[in-house]
Amino acid sequence: MMVPRQRRDAGFSAIEAVLMITLLGMATLSMAHTVVSGQRSLEHIEDDSRIVEQAQILMTRIAALPFGTSGEGPADTWDLLMLVAVENDAYGSPYGPGTSGTYGPAQLYWGTGALSLTQVRGVSPLQWEYSVNNVQYYGKEGLWEIIVDRDLNGDGDLLDPMEVATATAQDLLRVEIRFDGRRILRSIRSRNPTE
């Protein structure tokens, strides 16, 4: 007597089930990696956005400084501190150190009013890190720099035609703001005819 064969159409074999579970697991891991990678990219973009925002505030403050003359004395430490002070901390307050309160991003610098761009050039590069109680503040850790010099194109010499032409008058300065050695903003500032 012949034994009838059973049909295999009734379900999946163990090998088929293992293959399907493996493929679903790989697809899930791939999607999770994409989500995590996207989140890291978003955090990086937010950090860069904060850095550019702070650099724009600094550049606005620097643009408001008078050009000054080469005969001026050295920059006052308080004025330099107020030039780079971060808002929402004790030194960023327009009412002086030790006061409290929350202030929006101050486009103005709250120093004595005696600071000029030429004096900032005298301490260039001005370097600092923002911290409150030794904790990095405002974005990720890093070194900020303000560079003010007569090297208009930033190539390390003063031999280019525009630099040679303005050497005697000294009425053009390059202002560059860097974060961790990376240029964030750069501008050329000229002496106002009324200065």
pLDDT of 60 above 60: yes
What's the rounded Cα separation, in Å, for the pair 145 and 143? 7
Tokens describing residue 195? 């200065």
pLDDT of 25 above 90: yes
Task: Kindly state the average pLDDT of the residues 42-56.
Answer: 85
Phi then psi dihedrals of residue 186, to 5 deg: -145, 140
Nearest by Cα to 99 from 87, 108, 111: 87
| Confidence bin at 100 (pLDDT 50/70/90) | very low
pLDDT of 62 above 80: yes
pLDDT at 97: 42
What's the rounded Cα separation, in Å, for the pair 150 and 121? 9
What's the rounded Cα separation, in Å, for the pair 167 and 150? 8
pLDDT at 32: 92
The domain limits of the chain are 39-190
What's the rounded Cα separation, in Å, for the pair 137 and 121? 26
176 three-state secondary structure: strand
pTM given for the model: 0.67
pLDDT at 50: 82
Residue 125 DSSP code: S
| Confidence bin at 57 (pLDDT 50/70/90) | confident
